[in-house]
Structure 1
């Protein structure tokens, strides 16, 4: 019994992560979405914007696995091409928000004089609903895929910044940081080697949740016709275009809605698994 307990206590994060079957399944699902997005041109003979008015509003069949839309475009083809946009937006937003959030969070947490100003800025940003702030930023920047990524990254930056600030406040008081200061180690070296490297776990977990939230926000904004060119296939655009045919061609909304739901839930479950695997206290109890 003691040997089993010891092995569980010293299990690495990857081993703990893979022991969770739900998380493993979520990672597999995300891998399938990513592979489909990367190899989209090789998975279907159709073009995402290829029109065929003779085949409009066809139900799912062996020829068109998910049916066709009001312009005769193959929905399965548009689904996997739309996955490219959604995954690119989610990844770009998570990466940019992590960079912005880490910089602001470490500055606020490590330098006491900067903390009040940065904390008030973060509080002011979080006072606005995410969608409204994103719409305001897109109105200022202009609608494009890049501007959408930047706007959503700004919207989600406070989420990571607050986590990083809280972690930095704890780390800066630890003994090894005080020892580094006493030895004359430069501040940038302390920030990178002693602070940042010891708070990467909560950053990774939070970035995973932001990835999912960004994909959901992109779908919502695309549904409203904001941010991305409507001619570009996205899951939100597909749902927006298909809502007027919901009574006669429900598959126009069903399949993109399922794609969003499955991908976002898989990301959330993966984030929960990462949190459990990277937290030593939780890992010992597994």
Structure 2
């Protein structure tokens, strides 16, 4: 039958798209990503070009999404800012995954390190994400790189906890014991026999962290402790537009909608990946 493998089990894509919202979310996110990546070709003007005469112009024929307080085209800034916001989200997802995998594997595989690393994970997760991020950015300084580093430290414990829990189960399975008996090195067992079998929950959690990081960056920028204000992000656009909410509410609503749609799309994609990659859910579907 179409859509099933020769073994009679549903294919990955069939499981991924079993929820009708997932393909829609994927299409929307790919569209947003494409528009932002190719902003240099799509944006109608330079995002930093000012025009005093055009300040706070509402959306219309001249400025499709309006102009800000400096007369800069909101659509152009939205596209260029999306590059930075999406880049921060992706960077945080990748770096936090690497840090979390290293800590989680070490805690789950080496019993002597488990107690100390588990307490470290618990201690970091005891702090509210935004407060810990504010403290780290305040120490490191406000820049795109420092925001990525700070948020990666904040979200790494989420990955570490998942990796540790999965490693504790897998290290006791017969095929791991067989690998030990055959003389495989510890690193080989950790990466070839443990990590390869826990990639699914890591990938799923990574999509959620991507979304969380975009929201956190927007929150930091809104509070004035995030990326340098001269670097456009969706969060800095909201921060710049908040003082003109009575005159030009679109300055807040437009980047706010961009953040909301992107985050919602990532959450739905993550839900679809979880359903497709979890064997128990796959059987139910």
Are 1:31 and 2:30 an aligned pair?
A: yes
SS in 1 for 2:111: coil
Alignment of 1:1-286 (within 5 A): 10-286=9-285
Q: CA deviation at 1:12?
A: 2.2
Q: CA deviation at 1:280?
A: 0.9
Summarize the Cα distance change of 1:72–1:4 in structure 2 as closer, same or farther, 3 Å threshold: closer
The RMSD of aligned alpha carbons is 1.7
SS in 1 for 2:48: coil
Distance 1:273 1:11 in 2: 14
SS in 1 for 2:112: coil
Q: Contact between 2:100 and 2:160, CA under 8 Å: does it hold in 1?
A: yes
Q: How many residues align?
A: 284
* Residue ranges of structure 2 left out of the alignment (5+ in a row): none
Spell out, residue by residue over 1:113-150, the C-alpha distance to the aligned partner (whole angstroms, 9 max, x if none): 10000000111111111111111111221221101101
Distance 2:6 2:26 in 1: 24
Spell out, residue by residue over 1:7-34, the C-alpha distance to the aligned partner (whole angstroms, 9 max, x if none): 8961122231134321111111111111
Distance 1:46 1:5 in 2: 48
Distance 2:282 2:8 in 1: 7
Q: Contact between 2:5 and 2:11, CA under 8 Å: does it hold in 1?
A: no
Q: CA deviation at 1:87?
A: 0.6
Q: Contact between 2:57 and 2:67, CA under 8 Å: does it hold in 1?
A: yes
SS in 1 for 2:224: coil
Distance 1:96 1:225 in 2: 24
Q: CA deviation at 1:69?
A: 0.8
Q: Structure 2-normalised TM-score?
A: 0.96
Spell out, residue by residue over 1:59-90, the C-alpha distance to the aligned partner (whole angstroms, 9 max, x if none): 11122111111110111111111100111000
Q: Structure 1-normalised TM-score?
A: 0.96
* Residue ranges of structure 1 left out of the alignment (5+ in a row): none
SS in 2 for 1:114: helix
